[in-house]
A and B are shown apart, each in its own frame.
Chain A
Amino acid sequence: MSFFASIRWQDIIDILLNSYILFRLYVLFRETYVFRVLTGLALLWIFQRIAVFFGLILTSWVLQGITAVAALIIIIVFRNEIRSVLQAKNLKAILWGFPQKSVPTTIQIIIDSINALSKRHIGALIVLPAKEDLKDMVQSGIPLRGLVSKEMITSIFWGDNPVHDGAAIIEGDRIAEVGVILPLSYRSDLPSHYGTRHRAALGLAETTDALIVVVSEETGKVLVAKDSNIEEIYGNTDLIKILQAHVGVYEEENGYQQREKFKISIAAIVSVFFITGMWFSFSKGFDTLITLEIPAEYTKRDPRFEIVDASVHTVRLDLTGSGALIKSMQPEQVQVKLDLENAVVGQNIFSITQENITLPPGIFLRKVVPSVIEVTLDETIKKEIPVQIDWVGELPKGLILSEIFFDPEKIEVVGGKRILENLSTIYTEKVHLESMKISGTMFANLALTPAALKIAPGSKDKIRIAYVIKPRIE
């Protein structure tokens, strides 16, 4: 119970968010090579973990190497696929949409062809047989056995085609025969504008269980004849339904959709379980302890004051968390900040509490050493201090540096009052004597110590030195 009580609302969001991301990746990349390779990679990783668990040194090492290289290769090799998936879809499609399979079915091709024929007023007669054999009922058919395509169907019924007056029989996804002569209906109750094509369609429908689609050459209207009935069709939706019902794919399509929905649901559930498992292994895995030395940072310091001393500069933190989180933790994610807003000149004592420490999620503080920091603040003042050149090295033999003149002789320095009160000289950086053979001039930088000191604005930061070299009197 206490285990579930330790789960925060942020953790729930964390799991759901990542589950959704994984689920969306599945939806976007399923049935692509990328997804298959990703699955392979995941399996490799699982085998590698198993190998580690059983202590198979070489196997785990090899699998780890392959996984690492494969992860890199997948990005390079499948960059085009990844790009096409991400570029071809808008944001809504990436976040919400479910891409439908867009493989055109035979029925769709037939409907597209009928629409094209109807639009151009090209007469057509398409027979879709059911269970009964039509051989005895039709005549003069020319075997074709060609795959159904819109171009093929429209060309069959093209006016200049010798077989355009006959019917085309479509079996499955192939055009079985063309130029087929159908038996005519002799009904007397048919409308007067029905021509031979309509009578032929009805004639076959009356004698068999086939479905015949008629495209009127005069009007471009589409009619369907089945079971002694012939009726006009006014839209693609009706035609699809009739054709699907005839071919018996309606249930199949429904079944396909059902299967797709089932697959998606399973994928969603697996995503949630997988991410939950990962989350627990990351955040609630084996507890690991780590000790970090973190520098103390001071915030909201009054600009008039300066930190001149602190009892410690780093704080030792004993942290705990799952091994994975501890491993992935970056030192800059851990911060110790002390608020100097209420600090005063002199010594200030701060207790380091949880509020002063920033930790990445899932990492917890066990101990802080020291728990108290003493910080000494000083008032910032300006002071003019004499400059002295810090000579080093050795002059060429027989020479002495007899005189120097330098400018400026004093420098205005900004720093802590306590420091500056005890500071009587500002030295330059080391100036080497070796190359000084004759009198001349040079420039030297100032070496401000301690580093908290700064040269006051407007004061020169370089010293111009004019020097006089003379021969030594032996």
Chain B
Amino acid sequence: MVRRYRFYIFLFVLLCANLLLVHRTFSQNHQRSVDDTVQNKLTLDLAVMCEEVKEKDKTPINQAIVFPIKIGKVSCFSMFDPVPEKTFIYHKWFHKDTPSTNKRLTLQPPRWATYSSIQLRETDKGPWRVEISDRKGNLLYILRFSITD
């Protein structure tokens, strides 16, 4: 009797063991995935306003709060570390609370520095701000500066 069902019992135990192994493997993968996400979250490492960005090594030059209009251009420099995956961010420029421009900038892993610039005109004098936000529109940082004589 026992010999007759021995084969089926063996098959059942094998099936159970298989199911257990599959579950453990899935759980471990999921945990690793969560851990990876936390460690590799897109992080803004540096955000400054500057007169220009050196193209060679992507470093901001003459970081400042106030920019004379005669320099002709002002840039918003932002550096992200880490960048877990290819994504994009936004630089939204506001002049006296009125939206001026919205620049979409691509980021490449593992770290990336990028910037947006505007050409200055006589009418651009006054207080400005740049809102840096991620692809979902979550606000990451606000930079405030002024364009003066």
Contact = CB atoms under 8 A, between A and B. Distances in A.
B142 A386 contact: yes
A395 interface: yes
A400 B64 contact: yes
Nearest to B142: A386
Contacts of B65: 389, 391, 401-404, 467
A388 B96 CA distance: 10
B66 A401 contact: yes
Contacts, number: 51
A392 interface: yes
A139 to B, nearest CB: 122
A389 B146 contact: yes
B68 A402 contact: no
B126 A395 contact: no
A395 B144 CA distance: 18
Given A395-B68, A425-B129, A390 B146 contact: yes
A231 interface: no
Given A424-B97, A425-B97, A433-B148, A395 B129 contact: no
B63 A402 contact: yes
B148 A393 contact: yes
A402 B149 contact: no
Given A425-B97, A425-B127, A425-B129, A391 B61 contact: no
Given A395-B66, A401-B64, A433-B66, A388 B144 contact: yes
Contacts of A390: 126-127, 146
A394 B146 contact: no
A428 to B, nearest CB: 9
A467 B64 CA distance: 11
Interface string B108-149: 000000000000000000110100000000000010101011
Interface string A378-393: 0000000010111111
A471 to B, nearest CB: 10
A131 B126 CA distance: 113
B64 A391 contact: no
Nearest to A424: B97
Interface in A389-439: 389-395, 400-404, 423-425, 427, 433
B102 interface: no
A392 B63 CA distance: 18
Nearest to A432: B148
In this complex, the member of A390, A391, A394 whose beta carbon has the largest number of chain B beta carbons within 10 angstroms is A391
A391 B69 CA distance: 13
Contacts of A394: 68, 148-149
Given A401-B66, A402-B65, 6 more contacts: A388-B129, A392-B148, A393-B149, A395-B68, A425-B129, A425-B144
22 contacts: A386-B142, A386-B144, A388-B127, A389-B127, A390-B146, A391-B65, A391-B146, A392-B148, A394-B149, A395-B66, A400-B62, A400-B66, A401-B66, A404-B65, A424-B97, A425-B127, A425-B144, A433-B66, A433-B148, A472-B62, A473-B61, A473-B62
